Structures are given as structure tokens and as C-alpha cells.
Amino acid sequence: VIMGNIMGPHGNHARLASLMAGIPIEAGATTLDRQCGSGSQAIVNAALNIMTGNGDVFVACGVEHMTLNPYQMEKPTAAYSWAPPKFLAGKFSTPEIGDPVMPITADTLAARHNISRLECDEWALISHQRAAVAIKSGVFKDQIVPIEVKTKAGMKVVDTDECVRYDISLEAMQKLRPMYEGGVTTAANSCPRSDGGGALVMMSEDRAKALGLKPLASVRSFGVAGVDPNIMGYGPVPSTQKALKRAGLTVKDLGVIEMNEAFAGQFIPCMKDLNFDPAKVNPNGGAIAMGHPLGGTGAVLATKLIYEMIAKNQQFGLVTMCIGGGQGMATIFELY
């Protein structure tokens, strides 16, 4: 079991989840952290292990429980101190290079590419509208495993993404103040904090045949690239270019594209510079509508992508995302 996770409170979440799921004790498990690309890295690590003969069956997964993630605070300098705790923010870069908060990196990227506030809000509207249509038409029915959650009102079955706004309007979004003066990023055109996860069973072709299973897709190539942390949201561009080159493909070969919507201000420049057809990108809505559970997003997007490739009979598809600290990751899948 290989799991992507960033902020969880436990030790080696992959092992804990493996034991809770009843996977044989003899199976190893490891948890990794490539920030927003962690779920994708779990998939790639599983593929590389299979390709090199270091295992033939893996669960590649990712998860984030952002509503219950622990806070970090400084250790008191004196015993029985009455001073209030000082909470710590995570570091993603060095002071010399610059380590701005994520919304500012999106504003910087939008400014450099002349992306307007209106463009950002328009894409956010599209994301919600597409997600709403997909949910109502049952697109995600076969992709989501329902779970029971205990609430004050009793047991509740959770089987639908909860962040989607079905009645959102461009007019309402335009009334919101930007997070930072002069910027384009608002709460409406950013991904919401969310809980979620995804998992894929991966194995060698020979093992699948021996078990009588038909694979859905295979990993064709991947790419990881570093970018200036001040514009960390630009990571999908160089990483996608690497993945395409390694696969011997062009953008035109991609039938479906899932690119994480961290912020519309960073998403739109990437979509434009990669010459993506907007109709192919996040056809069933993106993170602005459905949330971005950090370590889980890569696995979630891969699941959405593969099911959409099957539905539309598209041979190649791409999952890509920006990564905190100034990286990007891209993975190309091929329909089996």
C-alpha cells in the first residue's frame, strides 16, 4: 500500500489504513508527501515498482482530512508559561527565494498573464455548473464508495461531494472582495478546504490475466518539474511538457484532461500556455466546485479521468496539478 498524505495526525497512515481495511499483515505500507501531488506520486511509485519487478499488486491511494488536521505550535520557553500559544505556519520555500501564501502566488501568476477577475469567476462558475450536471446525471455513482457517518441526528450515508453550489451565479461571485487588495483571488474562485480520498488497485498485466481481471488503463508516462515558489501554480506547464515528450504524444492526443483547480488565477494561465481545449479540461467539474483534499487529489483525479476516458472512448488522458513549494506533476494514462 502506497499512500499520499500531507497533514494527518497519525504515524504512517498507509499502514494504519491497511490494517483497518483487513489487508494481510504481511503486506508492506508506506506514506509519502509530495504535497498536492502526493496521490499522483503514490500511483507513479506503484507503477515503477511493478515495472522493475518489485511487487505485482499495489493499492495506490491518497487521503486528507483537512477539517481535523492538527495545528502546530511553538514549545513554551518556560515552565508554567502564561503566554498564549504561538501557532506555526508550514514553510514551503526559503526567505531568500520567497515563500508567499498560496493565494498570493495565484495573484502573481494571474497578473503576469493578464488574467482578469472576471475570467477567474467565469471559470469558477463553469466548474460548479459542470459538477452539478455530473452529480445530477449520476456520473460519479460508480466512482464513489458510500460511507456511513455518525452525526447528532443519527447515521448518515455520504455518497455525494458536498462543496458544489447548485445555485451559484456570476453576479454573486463578482460582489466578493479579493483576498488581497488588487488581486483576483476570492473564496469563490479558489478550491475549498475539504476531506476526501481515492484509491486505485494496480498490478502487472500478467497478474491481472492470472486473476481473470481486465485492466481499465495503464500509466503511459509521468513528469515532475520544479518552478519558482513565487508562482508555484505554474507547475502543470513544465511537468505536462515532460510527460508528453516521454510518451511521444502532443496535447492534441489527449482526449480528457484533469487539471487541479487550486485557484482560477493559476489554473487559467496553465490551461492557456498548454493550449488545452477548455471543453476537454475537467469536463465534470474541478476542485473549485468539489474541493481539493491535498494528499488525496491525485488519486481522485485519476479515478475521474479513467472513468471519463472509458465513457468517451478516449485513448489518452492527463492528470496534472501544481504543488506547494514550487513543483508540478503530470501523469498520462492510456486506456487498456
Does 113 qualify as catalytic in the annotation?
A: no
Q: What is the pLDDT of residue 79?
A: 81
Percentage of residues in the chain having pLDDT higher than 70: 100
Q: What is the pLDDT of residue 75?
A: 85
HSE-up of 250 (CA within 13 Å, CB side)? 3
Check pLDDT > 90 for residue 143.
Answer: yes
Q: What is the pLDDT of residue 241?
A: 99
Element (H, E) at 148: strand 147-151
Q: Which CATH superfamily, name and number, covers 96-191+215-336?
A: Thiolase/Chalcone synthase (3.40.47.10)
Torsion on CA atoms 36, 39, 42, 43, rounded to nearest 10:
-120
For residue range 129-140, list pLDDT tens digits in order: 999 999 999 999
298: closest CA among 127, 61, 135, 134? 61
Q: Largest Cα–Cα distance of the chain, in whole Å? A: 65
Check pLDDT > 90 for residue 125.
Answer: yes
Among the options 13, 65, 128, 292, which is catalytic? Answer: 292
Give the span between the Cα atoms of 324 and 270, in whole angstroms.
Answer: 15
252 neighbors 271 (Cβ within 8 angstroms): no
CA angle centred on 63, ends 58 and 66, rounded to 5°:
170
Q: What is the pLDDT of residue 77?
A: 79
For residue range 162-221, list pLDDT tens digits in order: 999 999 999 999 999 999 999 999 999 999 999 999 999 999 999 999 999 999 999 999
For residue range 9-32, list pLDDT tens digits in order: 888 999 999 999 999 999 999 999
Q: What is the pLDDT of residue 39?
A: 98
DSSP 6: S
Among the options 61, 120, 270, 322, which is catalytic? Answer: 322
Check pLDDT > 90 for residue 85.
Answer: no
Give the span between the Cα atoms of 231 and 108, in whole angstroms.
Answer: 7
Q: What is the pLDDT of residue 289?
A: 98
Q: Name the residue ranges covered by the structural domains of the chain.
A: 96-191+215-336
Does 292 qualify as catalytic in the annotation?
A: yes
107 neighbors 232 (Cβ within 8 angstroms): no
Cross-strand partners of 318: 257, 332
Residues 6 or more apart whose CB falls under 8 angstroms from that of 282 comprise 127, 130, 257, 258, 259, 261
Check pLDDT > 90 for residue 76.
Answer: no
252: closest CA among 176, 315, 167? 315
Element (H, E) at 298: helix 297-312
User: What three-state secondary structure class fits 55?
Assistant: coil
Neighbours of 159 (CB within 10 A): 12
Q: What is the pLDDT of residue 68?
A: 86
Among the options 10, 13, 36, 113, which is catalytic? Answer: 36
Check pLDDT > 90 for residue 69.
Answer: no
More confident residue, 86 or 298: 298
For residue range 250-299, list pLDDT tens digits in order: 999 999 999 999 999 999 999 999 999 999 999 999 999 999 999 999 99
Percentage of residues in the chain having pLDDT higher than 90: 91
Give the span between the Cα atoms of 47 and 237, in whole angstroms.
Answer: 23
For the chain, the average pLDDT equals 96
Q: What is the pLDDT of residue 63?
A: 97
